[in-house]
Amino acid sequence: MSLPTRRTVLLVQLPIPPLGPAPIRGNVPLAAAYLKLWADSHALGSLYDIDILPAAETNCLSDRALVATLADRRPWLVGFTCYVWNIERTLWIAAELKRRLPDVRIVLGGPEITADNAWVLDTPDYDFAVIGEGEQTFAQLLLGLLGDEVPPLSVPGLYVPPAPGACRFDPSRRPPFRTPLPDLNALGSPYLAGILDAGDEQMLLLETTRGCVFKCKFCYYR
């Protein structure tokens, strides 16, 4: 198999919509940074240029300007981190980006991507959706796409929808469960690796445990 030329992967985490004109703060792309760190340290950095869209663009641009800046970078694949506060805008940006770059692959990940979220999984403008912890799944996806349009083997945590036109939310395609990493130390630190700079937001996020049981009594927003 001949190796493809280097491919550009862009990771994007849209912020909470601001209530007013004050600058947006606190939108740290921690998930994207871990995805990049894991993929780069598993030899994928020699085949893919994995970049995180800088805060100056992510946090400041309008919807249309964001689409334009993403398209100008000619990405081979764009990965979006989807939270409840950015999912609608993310899906709109993804749809517009697909219109501008029909060949771009769109990957959705984050807490909004669950096996039963038909509202998201039924939408037409994405190619893959990652359910649960992302690092291993994303790396296996990038590996699987080296020679194929779709990974040749089933990847735990990776939802591969039917082609647009069919019903995109198909519970029978639910992927095998992605077993989380047994030890977070295996990840390393995106700050020490120089992917994130704590000075940008004057804040350093330190993940000591992972996952959400979605039922703690004191979690006031559940």
Question: Which residues contact ligand B12 (rule: CB under 6 A)?
Answer: 16, 26, 28, 30-31, 34-35, 79, 81, 83-85, 107, 109-112, 130, 133-135, 138, 205, 207, 211-212, 214, 219, 221-222
CB of 20 to ligand B12, least distance (A): 15
Q: What binding mask, one character per residue, do residues 157-196 give for ligand SF4 by CB under 6 A, x or -? A: ----------------------------------------
138 binds, options ligand B12, ligand SF4, none, Cβ within 5 to 8 A by partner type: ligand B12
Q: Could you tell me which stretch among 10-18, 81-89, 139-147, 208-216 binds ligand SF4 (CB under 6 A)?
A: 208-216
What are the structure tokens assigned to 167, written together? 């019903």
CB of 53 to ligand B12, least distance (A): 12
What are the structure tokens assigned to 55, written together? 């805060």
Using CA atoms of 52, 58, 63, 68 in order, give the dihedral in degrees to the nearest 10.
-50
Strands laid side by side in the 7-12 sheet: 48-52, 7-12, 77-81, 105-109, 128-130, 158-159
CA atoms within 13 A on the CB side of 27: 24
* CA 41 distance to own-chain centroid: 18
